[in-house]
Every structure is written in C-alpha cells, then in structure tokens.
Structure 1
Amino acid sequence: MNTSASIDFDPIQAPPPGFRSVRVGGNFVAHNGPLFARLVEGRLQLGFRVDQRHVNPLGICHGGMLATLADMVIPCAAMYRPGQERRFLPTISLQVDYMGAAPLGAWVQGEGEVLRTTRNLLFGQALVSADGQPALRVSGIFKLGALITEGDLADPLGLDAPA
C-alpha cells in the first residue's frame, strides 16, 4: 500500500513590502518555510505566508508551524539587538499561548524582544499576528551558546543589502 500523498502547493503570495526571504535555523526551517524578515525602526520582524503545506485538516495553520516561527523570532531579534554578541541560542523553554487562528493564505508575522540576559541565558518575549490579528503570545529562555563569528555580524540576515 502506498502511503505517500501528493500535495498540491499553491504558489505563495508575495510577503508585505520590505520583507525579504531569509535562510535561518538550518534545514528544518528551510524545508518548512520559507521565512521572510525585515527591519522596522531597528526591530526585526519575521514572518511567513500560510501555504497549503502548513495547514491542518481544518484549513488553518498547524500549531507546530506557528511554534516554529515562535521559536525563531526571539533569537533572530537578539541578532539585531545593539551590543548583543551574536551567539547560537538553543531553546531551553518556550511558552506559547495560542490566541487566534491563521487561515490558509494569511500573513503570519512576529516581533520579538530581549528582556534580559544573564551570564548564561537570554530571556525574551514576542507577539505573533495573523493578518494583523493576535495569534500567539510567546516567552522563551535560551542558552547563550557558542559565538557565531562568520557572516555579517551587523546584519546577519542581509536585510540591508541591495535586493
């Protein structure tokens, strides 16, 4: 019996103005994305368009995909925090409160902030919206891992580079 299913992928609609496709988080995120980012007044926004591959049987974004964005938005925001060393930030704890649905075709975006860093930990929070409506409230604790020295340390996602 063949258990594989053919999935028709709808072409992804363009993200809102200013967002660029970014590769962050390794192969898992690359496979489940694409993710897009932009800087607005020095604050990083990370998002994706809900595609057919992201939805559950009810046609709304699977909570696992929303949690994936939630797990990325705080560490990505930390990369753009002035004075913050760029480090690998493995997740220790992630609290996700689901507040609303993200239907097929919705634009989902989050903006994180670093609340505090200690010698070994980073504490942060984020809000994630779907088409401008609250979808998730997130808080997380991340381990301050190894320093990342390759790439552009001032603009690690290449958001200021010419398109």
Structure 2
Amino acid sequence: MSKTEIPPKGYKAFNISQPHIDHLGPGFYKKEDDDQLVLGFYVREEHLNGYGSAHGGMLMAVADFTLATSAMRKSDKPVTTVSFHSEFISPAPLGSLLEVRAKVTKKGKTLAFSKGNIKVGDEVILNFGGVLKIL
C-alpha cells in the first residue's frame, strides 16, 4: 500500500462513488464540526501539470465536489452546481496532502451558497465558492 492510499492522521477513507472523482482518489474525510466538511486528497503524478504541480482543473474538480458534498449534507438532497468561482494562490507540489474545506454559508428552499479553500499545511492553495441548486 502506497503513502497516498493510507488515510492521514485524523482522516478516514472516503468511498467515492462518482466515476469522474474516482481518478482523483483515494480520498479521505474528517469532520471538524457539524458545519465543516474536510476532504483530503494527495497530489499524485497523474494530477500534475507541465510545471510539476497540481493541475488547476484537478483542483477545481476537487473544490466543486466538496462544495456539492457540503450542500448535500446540509439539505439531505442531491444538488447541482449553478455557478463556481476560484482564485489560485499557490502551487501544490507532488505528494502534497490537499485539505479541502467547504461550508454552506446560506441555504434556502432551492439554492445553497457555499465557500471554501484548499490548503497544503497552513498555506492556502485555492479559494473557491459557488451556488448550488437543490434538486
């Protein structure tokens, strides 16, 4: 078993059931409190861009998945992304543990608003947010 398959300290294995996310895993999760979802993914070689850091598309996919997962936990219903925005702050090198946090900031009957970030250690890699339609 490689390092990227062993849950980091404080995390549990996250059985991802979406084919487009399967390629990013294995994934891990932990709960910091009832409102804060934290997912973890290691940056592997297949995630790299030409500069040797995590590809922006990979980071956005993980961020969008975490936004949707946080909204589904809050609404107990499936959701779909209406809008998504992100700001790239720093690169995430090979082997980094991405800690992805997302929190619902407002939830109505049909829409949820969520925001979060991706960190490597204490360093913010990506800020993101979005609006999700509750189905």
Consecutive unaligned residues of structure 1, counting only runs of 5 or more, are 1-9, 146-163
SS of equivalent residue, structure 2 residue 6: coil
- Kindly provide the CA deviation profile for residues 68-121 of structure 1, in whole angstroms up to 9, marking residues without a partner as x: 1110112222344xxx33111111111011111100011111111111112211
**Structure 1 counterpart of 2:117:** 127
Higher helix content, 1 or 2: 2
C-alpha distance in 1, partners of 2:109/2:132? 12
Match in the other structure for 1:138: 128
1:101–1:130 contact (8 Å) kept in structure 2: no
Q: What is the identity, as a one-letter code, of the residue corresponding to 2:50?
A: P
Q: Judging changes above 3 Å, is the alpha-carbon distance between structure 1 residues 86 and 24 closer, same or farther for their aligned structure 2 residues?
A: farther
Alignment coverage as a number of residue pairs: 133
Q: How does 1:63-142 map to 2 (within 5 A)?
A: 63-80=56-73, 84-142=74-132
2:26 corresponds to which residue? 34
Coordinate RMSD, CA, aligned: 1.8
> Structure 2: where are the runs of 5+ without partners?
none
Q: 2:54 aligns with which of 33, 46, 61?
A: 61
Equivalent pair of 2:72/2:78 in contact (CA under 8 Å): no
Shift of 1:140: 0.4
- Bigger Rg, structure 1 or 2: 1
Provide the rounded CA distance (Å) in 1 between the counterparts of 2:124 and 2:70.
19
Closer, same or farther in 2 for the Cα pair 1:25/1:67, shift >3 Å?
farther
- Which has a greater percent of strand? 2
Percentage of identical aligned residues:
27
| 2:75 alignment partner AA | E
Q: Deviations over 1:22-52 (max 9, x none)?
A: 1335111012322211112332211101011
Q: Which runs of 4+ in 1 moved over 3 A?
A: none
Contact 1:15–1:48 (Cα < 8 Å) also in 2: no
Judge conservation of contact 2:91–2:125 (CA < 8 Å) in 1: yes
Please state whether the residue corresponding to 2:49 is helix, strand or coil.
coil
